[in-house]
């Protein structure tokens, strides 16, 4: 299916996957850095951002959304790209690596390595963020218009919320509010265990100051991957906003041809 995307750079293809309720423009801070070596394709999942919803009857879950993205890059003539994902997108990236349909995968604070209580906490926070986004959008400029407002809107997602541009906060809130696939995808995550072992090289990286999926989950991810997880100093759940240079370095080191 056709999906909304941004594309820049040249080299081997690199597909970027956003988190639950987020959108492709969340990768904007790192696009130019990654485009120095890759043909970068940042895509909105079906039912998120500016992409159309899934066809009627298809459920929203990691498998269907991952399959839609795989079908989409095929339409672009791309085969076996590198892939990087954040949060839910990180889980999808690891699932694609488990299926062996990508060359490499990077997962930034991926979902799926939580305890039962951590899982419930994350679901509750995401629901509250959706409600807050809906209320803020009804109120016009809302939280994005002031430094204090940005602290409130982004404090659980970034380590440096006051530094996030107001435009980015508004766009993120609009994407979260308008996500046709949000509720269905969240419901599919009643419990989501880690995917099968990867068939291609992977890197898992975690923000040391992640407040949505705390860094203790990185220990479980390391056991699953049977290798060290990279800890990103000074970064929250959306490390692309906190330290674009560090995130780009983590991705580029894993996606060498």
Residue 194 backbone dihedrals phi, psi, to 5 degrees: -60, 150
- At 152 the pLDDT is 60
At 182-220, the pLDDT tens digits run 999 998 877 788 899 999 999 999 999 999 999 999 999
Pairing of β 38-43 and β 12-17? parallel
In the chain, where are the structural domains located? 5-254
C-alpha 23 chain-centroid distance:
8
Over pLDDT 90: what percentage of the chain? 75
181 in Cβ contact with 48 (< 8 Å)? yes
CATH code linked to domain 5-254: 3.40.50.1820
What is the sign of the dihedral through the CA atoms of 117, 118, 121 and 127? negative
pLDDT confidence of residue 136: 66
* 38-42, 93-97, 131-135: segment of lowest average pLDDT: 131-135
Q: Can you spell out the DSSP letters for 130-145?
A: HHHHHHHHHTTTGGGG
The band of 139, judged by pLDDT with boundaries at 50, 70 and 90, is very low
pLDDT at position 146: 55
Neighbours of 246 (CB within 10 A): 19
Q: What is the pLDDT of residues 46-60, one digit of tens each?
A: 999 999 999 999 999
Would you say the pTM of this structure is higher than 0.85? yes
Q: How far apart are CA 238 and CA 90, in angstroms?
A: 12
Q: In the beta sheet, which residues pair with residue 86?
A: 108
Q: In what order do the strands lie in the sheet with 38-43?
A: 5-8, 38-43, 12-17, 82-86, 105-108, 202-207, 230-232
pLDDT at 45 over 90: yes
DSSP 196: S
- 78-87, 135-144, 173-182, 188-197, range with greatest mean pLDDT: 78-87
Question: pLDDT higher for 173 or 136?
Answer: 173
In this predicted structure, the answer to whether residue 144 has a pLDDT above a threshold of 70 is no
Angle, CA of 207, 83 and 36, to the nearest 5°: 85
CA–CA distance, 243 with 246 (Å, rounded to integer): 5
Kindly tell me if the per-residue pLDDT of 164 is higher than 90. Answer: no
Q: Would the pLDDT of 241 be above 80? A: yes
Per-residue pLDDT, averaged over 72-98, amounts to: 97
Of all residues in the chain, the percent with pLDDT exceeding 70 is 93
Query: How big is the CA angle at 123 (ends 122 and 127), to the nearest 5 degrees?
Result: 115
Q: How far apart are CA 93 and CA 85, in angstroms?
A: 6
């Amino acid at each position: 299916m056709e999906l909304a995307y941004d594309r820049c750079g040249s080299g081997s293809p690199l597909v970027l996957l956003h988190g639950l309720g987020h959108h492709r423009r969340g990768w904007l801070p790192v696009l130019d850095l990654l485009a120095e070596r890759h043909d970068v394709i940042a895509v909105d999942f079906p039912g998120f951002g500016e992409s159309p919803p899934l066809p009627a009857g298809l459920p929203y879950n990691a498998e269907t959304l991952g399959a839609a993205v795989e079908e989409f890059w095929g339409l672009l003539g791309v085969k076996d790209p590198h892939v990087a994902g954040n949060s839910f997108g990180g889980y999808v990236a690891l699932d694609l690596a488990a299926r062996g349909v990508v060359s490499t995968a990077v997962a930034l604070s991926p979902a799926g390595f939580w305890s039962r209580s951590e899982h419930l906490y994350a679901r509750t926070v995401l629901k509250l963020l959706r409600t807050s986004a809906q209320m803020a959008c009804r109120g016009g400029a809302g939280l994005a218009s002031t430094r204090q407002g940005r602290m409130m809107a982004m404090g659980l997602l970034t380590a440096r919320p006051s530094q996030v541009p107001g435009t980015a906060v508004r766009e993120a809130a609009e994407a979260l509010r308008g996500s046709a696939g949000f509720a269905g995808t969240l419901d599919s995550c009643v419990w989501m265990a880690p995917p099968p072992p990867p068939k291609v090289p992977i890197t898992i990286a975690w923000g040391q100051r992640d407040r949505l999926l705390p860094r203790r989950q990185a220990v479980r991810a390391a056991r699953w991957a049977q290798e060290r997880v990279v800890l990103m100093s000074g970064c929250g759940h959306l490390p692309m906003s906190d330290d674009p240079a560090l995130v780009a370095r983590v991705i580029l080191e894993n996606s060498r041809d």
